[in-house]
Amino acid sequence: MRPANSSEREMKFVKMILSYSLLCSIILIFFLTLTKTGWILGLALFSLLFYGGRLSISRRFRKGQRITWFLSLAILNFLILVPELFLRLADFHHEARIHF
């Protein structure tokens, strides 16, 4: 087995981070589909993003194109969507105290 060079390691790293980030969203959306209606489309969309993202990273890597924006997408998903989905799953509601 030959050692992976730095660009192959970068591709595997980006693929791993994107996969874990999207899997967190997929798991939370799955539990939302069990408790609430209307989340099945989100589950299908994130499942497509998971498989499509992994295939797209491999394809762009083979063509020599940049794959670092997938890392940005994964971080944004993990920092914005995962907490939002978790709060929705916990049925958190906050009422604003300022009324206009």
How many domains does the chain fold into?
Answer: 1
**Predicted confidence band at 4 (pLDDT cuts at 50, 70, 90)?**
low
Q: For residue 1, tell me if it sits in a domain.
A: no
pTM for this predicted structure = 0.83
- pLDDT above 90 for 73: yes
Q: List the one residue out of 74, 88, 80, 81 whose CA is nearest residue 32.
A: 88
62 part of a folded domain: yes
Boundaries of domain holding 43: 7-89
pLDDT digits (tens, 9 = 90+) for 16-52: 999 999 999 999 999 999 988 888 999 999 999 999 9
Q: Which helix (H) or strand (E) holds 74?
A: helix 68-76
pLDDT of residue 5: 76
